[in-house]
Chain A
Amino acid sequence: MSEMQKTIEIEVLRYHPEKDREPHRQVFEVPFTDDMSVLQGVQYIKDYLDGSLSFRWSCRMAICGSCGMMINGIPSLSCQTFLRDYYPARVRVEALAHFPIERDLVINMEGFIEKLESIQPYIIPKEERTLAQGEYLQTPEQLNAYEQFSSCINCLLCYAACPQFGLNSSFIGPAATALLHRYNVDSRDGGKAERMELINSEEGVFNCTAVGYCSEVCPKHVDPANAVNQNKTNSAADYFLRFLAPKGGAK
């Protein structure tokens, strides 16, 4: 590192279950250039300062969803957060809030995977169609109804932002609700009634207290708060309809 090289301090929350009783902070001094992402700063630490630092990353372009971290307390994708926005001050990097830490910046996301699996995140066809019959017709308006909710990259920033999830980790939460909604409003799908049973349950949408921070931190404009609140309405309608119709009432 030449003397002229600008540097920036990155403070990392470290935790190693085989060695540490509790997390602690460690500060690293990293060469700084104007176009470096926080991820690149953390990679520099691993490559040249401390090979034992653990974190997830892959695509570097905000689509694989691996590299979510708390950056100065805000849930962020580290690949599209830039050191220049903090320089010359120190940047603080921690594992995503509200999840168990496996090691350093790596969280345990098994709970989210179980939620994702539980909502039947696949088309349950409204009407069967063979491949020989070609594609289902779906107008751009019909596509628009769900496209935004299909853009979730499962980065979990919304869970780190959600105060309710912080209190109750069994709450289905923003991303899984958005995905459920994505299938429910897809014109090809007929599985809404089955999925609504989950959303009406103890851990369903009514846990949400409409803070809206989930949508604010979402890097893909999925707007999960919107999905949650549409489902509150659906769920409320569904609640009353069940007195009239034999099963759930949703069509």
Chain B
Amino acid sequence: MEIYKADVVIVGGGGAGLRAAIAVAEADPALRIALVSKVYPMRSHTVAAEGGSAGVKQASDSLEYHFNDTVHGGDWLCEQDVVEYFVAHCTEELTQLEHWGCPWSRTPDGHVNVRAFGGMKIERTWFAADKTGFHMLHTLFQTSIKYPSIKRFDEHFCVDLIVEDGRVQGVVAIEIASGEFTLVEARSVVIATGGAGRVFRENTNGGVVTGDGMALAYRHGVPLRDMEFVQYHPTCMPGTGLLFTEACRGEGGFLVNKDGYRYLQDYGLGPAEPTPRNKAMELGPRDRLSQAFWYEQQKGRTIEGPHGSVVHLDLRHLGEQKLRERLPQIYELAEQFMGVDPAHAPIPVRPAVHYTMGGILVDGRCAAPLPGLYAAGECSSVGIHGANRLGSNSLSELLVFGKVAGVEAARHARSVPAGDSARLLKQAQAVEQRVQGLKTKSGGSERIATLRKEMAQTMEDGCGIYRLADTMQKTCDKLDELKDRFRNVNVEDKSSVWNTEWLLAIELEYQLDVAQSMACSAIKRRESRGAHQRLDGFEQRDDVNFLAHSQAHYVAGGPPRIDYGPVRITKSQPGTRAYGAAGEKAEQERKASNV
């Protein structure tokens, strides 16, 4: 067992992890930082974010508007004090990225340009063409190289947290190239491992998005909050689920059904105007758009394709020049993967799982209930997304809360003594033995891929865009069965170097825990809110009983225990969530009643 003594260890080298690492390095250059990532940082899934990152930029905009859009968009399940902090820090963080070299798209006079995005009242989405996440990630990765106190453990796969004396004191990781174990001792641990979208069948996520950090914290008693809220993005490639950014619609694209009709006007998002107005039609929020697709499918107004029903994302009227400039990656994806030239033909699309709104329970300073543990980014539930995230808030979240997590982890590391190395090593050796056991045991008969596919299918069946008690129950039962069968999993490959079959088995075990937290939280929420929509007598939002965060607590050998925590309401009382003309009317009424 290798041992590395750090002060702060960060698990995950995507946007949040890199931002946290830089924050620690800037807070105190004397602190030793270990950045542990199962892939080279620039492979992390932040790389695939396309459309942009939100921050108030224009004189006509305000922090209050961004706050209201976010809280309404989240169907009032947001921590409002945290949202307030968030919107107040987005622009400064985006400017910091600009100073670090991010190639933001510009206006002719050289200022950073902004574009429209779904559910946002004013254009405030900073963008780098349609490769915003890619550019942010590479900017952060390359900038991190400046800081000598950041020691990277690239291609190191984290298998457990070390908790001793009631506080987290390090992690254990496998060096993928050798199969050797490393104990990284640290006084603070930041988890920044991203989401868990791969537990669903059709999703936009990369193979690495397997909920590792969520499962690790959860198994150590940290609740996973609001896990039933899983975002379906409305415009994805049929079959593979690859993403066509919301910026397609931010730039003026239409969504039409088989009759060429802009069907969103039938779902409270109209009126249909030649250019989508902010917070209306194609610029409505993702939950509403994915739900509208489902109804169109029920009505037989979608188009049948080889990978299920589709509608058309029509960008033709934007013209080739604008598409090449603003949406170059989308253009190439459509051409290369689908043989569609979007300047001359509409793109077939359907919803796919995109984002986990819930995650590791943390407070507004990114601290989990386990002392020394922090979390930031998609793996965390800091409370800004509520029941439905607005597009372009998550990239800003990485920056704002990645920094907070880093600052707090640094402060904590200075405030507590180093642990007892001998006891930490003893724990780490027990972890090694357990994890090696998965590989060395013989006689298993379950194929990893079979279990994984059955999990992904049952999650889609039970926890899709619309949900019913009996199918959710079937999903919960199926997950019980899969966890049981996992004990009989077969890892054929017994070797050490680059044994990815072994790692896939460990990931699958993480995924099964996270999937279970989602399904068990979903069936208990007997209302409809944001991305959690039911059709079995609970079609309405129920603020009396469910204006509350679900918290899934890990129970070894069984389904989680679910309880609820309060939602912090400061400035915005729950009201009608409406878009399009109805939304404008509701906003006027709110203003009138406040006066």
Contact between chains at A58 and B45 (CB < 8 Å): yes
Q: Within A27-71, which residues are at the interface with B (CB < 8 Å)?
A: 35, 46-48, 51-52, 54-66
Interface residue from A58, A153, A183 paired with B206 (Cβ < 8 Å): A58
> 8 closest A-B pairs (Cβ-Cβ)?
A47-B449, A137-B110, A58-B206, A103-B498, A121-B142, A52-B493, A123-B101, A59-B206
Cα separation A165 to B432 with both chains bound (whole Å): 39
Contact between chains at A102 and B154 (CB < 8 Å): no
Contact between chains at A183 and B101 (CB < 8 Å): yes
Give chain B nearest CB distance to A119 CB in angstroms.
9
Contact between chains at A135 and B103 (CB < 8 Å): no
Chain B positions 138 through 179: 1 when the CB is less than 8 Å from some CB of chain A, otherwise 0: 100011011000000010000000000000000000000100
Give chain A nearest CB distance to B12 CB in angstroms.
14
> Which residues of chain B have C-beta atoms less than 8 A from A129's C-beta?
99
Contacts A51-B448, A150-B138 aside, 19 further interface pairs with beta carbons under 8 A come to A16-B495, A19-B495, A51-B493, A52-B501, A57-B207, A58-B207, A58-B208, A62-B333, A64-B42, A64-B43, A66-B43, A103-B497, A113-B40, A134-B95, A135-B99, A137-B110, A137-B111, A140-B105, A151-B131
Interface residue from A52, A65, A142, A151 paired with B492 (Cβ < 8 Å): A52
Chain B positions 468 through 501: 1 when the CB is less than 8 Å from some CB of chain A, otherwise 0: 0000000000000000000000011101111111
Contact between chains at B48 and A61 (CB < 8 Å): yes
> Which residues of chain A have C-beta atoms less than 8 A from B501's C-beta?
46, 51-52
Interface residue from A65, A104, A123, A179 paired with B100 (Cβ < 8 Å): A123
Answer yes or no: A106 CB below 8 A from chain B CBs: yes
> Which residues of chain B have C-beta atoms less than 8 A from A121's C-beta?
142, 145
Known: A51-B448, A58-B39. A136 touches B498 (CB 8 A): no
Please classify how large the interface on chain A is, using the bins under 10, 10 to 19, 20 to 34, 35 or more: 35 or more
Give chain A nearest CB distance to B102 CB in angstroms.
9
> Which residues of chain B have C-beta atoms less than 8 A from A140's C-beta?
105-106, 108
Answer yes or no: A146 CB below 8 A from chain B CBs: yes
Known: A52-B501, A61-B333, A122-B100. A139 touches B134 (CB 8 A): no
Give 18 A-B contacts (CB < 8 Å), ordered by A residue.
Answer: A19-B495, A47-B448, A47-B449, A52-B492, A52-B499, A58-B45, A61-B243, A63-B131, A64-B42, A64-B43, A65-B42, A117-B145, A135-B111, A139-B109, A146-B103, A153-B134, A186-B101, A189-B101
Contact between chains at B491 and A51 (CB < 8 Å): yes
Cα separation A61 to B45 with both chains bound (whole Å): 11
> Which residues of chain A have C-beta atoms less than 8 A from B96's C-beta?
131
Answer yes or no: A125 CB below 8 A from chain B CBs: yes
Contact between chains at B110 and A63 (CB < 8 Å): no
> Which residues of chain A have C-beta atoms less than 8 A from B242's C-beta?
60-61
> Which residues of chain A have C-beta atoms less than 8 A from B240's C-beta?
60
> Which residues of chain B have C-beta atoms less than 8 A from A125's C-beta?
99
Chain B residue, CB-CB nearest to A152: B138
Chain B positions 50 through 92: 1 when the CB is less than 8 Å from some CB of chain A, otherwise 0: 0000000000000000000000000000000000000000001
> Which residues of chain A have C-beta atoms less than 8 A from B332's C-beta?
62
Answer yes or no: A73 CB below 8 A from chain B CBs: no
Contact between chains at A122 and B47 (CB < 8 Å): no
Q: Within A108-145, which residues are at the interface with B (CB < 8 Å)?
A: 108-109, 113, 116-117, 120-123, 125, 129, 131, 134-140, 142-143
Answer yes or no: A88 CB below 8 A from chain B CBs: no
Contact between chains at B108 and A143 (CB < 8 Å): no
Chain B residue, CB-CB nearest to A39: B207
Contact between chains at A136 and B43 (CB < 8 Å): no
Contact between chains at B145 and A18 (CB < 8 Å): no
> Which residues of chain B have C-beta atoms less than 8 A from A60's C-beta?
206-207, 240, 242
> Which residues of chain B have C-beta atoms less than 8 A from A147's C-beta?
103
Cα separation A122 to B143 with both chains bound (whole Å): 5
Contact between chains at B111 and A59 (CB < 8 Å): no
> Which residues of chain B have C-beta atoms less than 8 A from A17's C-beta?
497
> Which residues of chain A have C-beta atoms less than 8 A from B98's C-beta?
135-136
Q: Within B111-129, which residues are at the interface with A (CB < 8 Å)?
A: 111-112
Known: A122-B146, A136-B98, A137-B110. A64 touches B206 (CB 8 A): yes
> Which residues of chain A have C-beta atoms less than 8 A from B44's C-beta?
64
Contact between chains at B110 and A139 (CB < 8 Å): yes
Answer yes or no: A98 CB below 8 A from chain B CBs: no
Q: Within B246-298, which residues are at the interface with A (CB < 8 Å)?
A: none
Answer yes or no: A226 CB below 8 A from chain B CBs: no
Cα separation A108 to B178 with both chains bound (whole Å): 12
Contact between chains at A150 and B103 (CB < 8 Å): yes
Please classify how large the interface on chain B is, using the bins under 10, 10 to 19, 20 to 34, 35 or more: 35 or more
> Which residues of chain B have C-beta atoms less than 8 A from A183's C-beta?
101
Cα separation A65 to B39 with both chains bound (whole Å): 11
Cα separation A122 to B48 with both chains bound (whole Å): 21
Contact between chains at B101 and A63 (CB < 8 Å): no
Give chain B nearest CB distance to A202 CB in angstroms.
22
Cα separation A138 to B98 with both chains bound (whole Å): 10
Cα separation A46 to B500 with both chains bound (whole Å): 10
Contact between chains at A35 and B239 (CB < 8 Å): yes
Chain A positions 143 through 162: 1 when the CB is less than 8 Å from some CB of chain B, otherwise 0: 10011001101100000000
Cα separation A64 to B100 with both chains bound (whole Å): 21
Answer yes or no: A80 CB below 8 A from chain B CBs: yes
Chain B residue, CB-CB nearest to A143: B106
Cα separation A116 to B142 with both chains bound (whole Å): 8
Cα separation A17 to B177 with both chains bound (whole Å): 11
Give chain B nearest CB distance to A20 CB in angstroms.
11
Cα separation A30 to B447 with both chains bound (whole Å): 18
Known: A122-B143, A123-B101. A102 touches B43 (CB 8 A): no
Contact between chains at B145 and A137 (CB < 8 Å): no
Give chain B nearest CB distance to A6 CB in angstroms.
14
Cα separation A120 to B148 with both chains bound (whole Å): 12
Cα separation A154 to B154 with both chains bound (whole Å): 15
Answer yes or no: A195 CB below 8 A from chain B CBs: no
Cα separation A238 to B242 with both chains bound (whole Å): 46
Cα separation A19 to B177 with both chains bound (whole Å): 15
Chain A residue, CB-CB nearest to B126: A135
> Which residues of chain B have C-beta atoms less than 8 A from A90's C-beta?
none
Answer yes or no: A188 CB below 8 A from chain B CBs: yes
> Which residues of chain B have C-beta atoms less than 8 A from A106's C-beta?
498
Contact between chains at A54 and B498 (CB < 8 Å): yes
> Which residues of chain A have C-beta atoms less than 8 A from B493's C-beta?
51-52
Give chain B nearest CB distance to A133 CB in angstroms.
9
Interface residue from B109, B146, B449 paired with A137 (Cβ < 8 Å): B109
Chain B residue, CB-CB nearest to A147: B103
> Which residues of chain B have C-beta atoms less than 8 A from A142's C-beta?
110
Answer yes or no: B593 CB below 8 A from chain A CBs: no
Cα separation A150 to B135 with both chains bound (whole Å): 8
Cα separation A35 to B98 with both chains bound (whole Å): 39
> Which residues of chain B have C-beta atoms less than 8 A from A63's C-beta?
47-48, 131, 134, 329
> Which residues of chain B have C-beta atoms less than 8 A from A120's C-beta?
145
Q: Within B337-385, which residues are at the interface with A (CB < 8 Å)?
A: 337
Interface residue from A54, A143, A146, A189 paired with B105 (Cβ < 8 Å): A143
> Which residues of chain B have C-beta atoms less than 8 A from A137's C-beta?
109-111
Give chain B nearest CB distance to A105 CB in angstroms.
10
Cα separation A64 to B329 with both chains bound (whole Å): 13
> Which residues of chain B have C-beta atoms less than 8 A from A18's C-beta?
495-497
Cα separation A58 to B497 with both chains bound (whole Å): 19
> Which residues of chain B have C-beta atoms less than 8 A from A61's C-beta?
48, 242-243, 333, 337
Chain A residue, CB-CB nearest to B338: A35
Answer yes or no: B573 CB below 8 A from chain A CBs: no
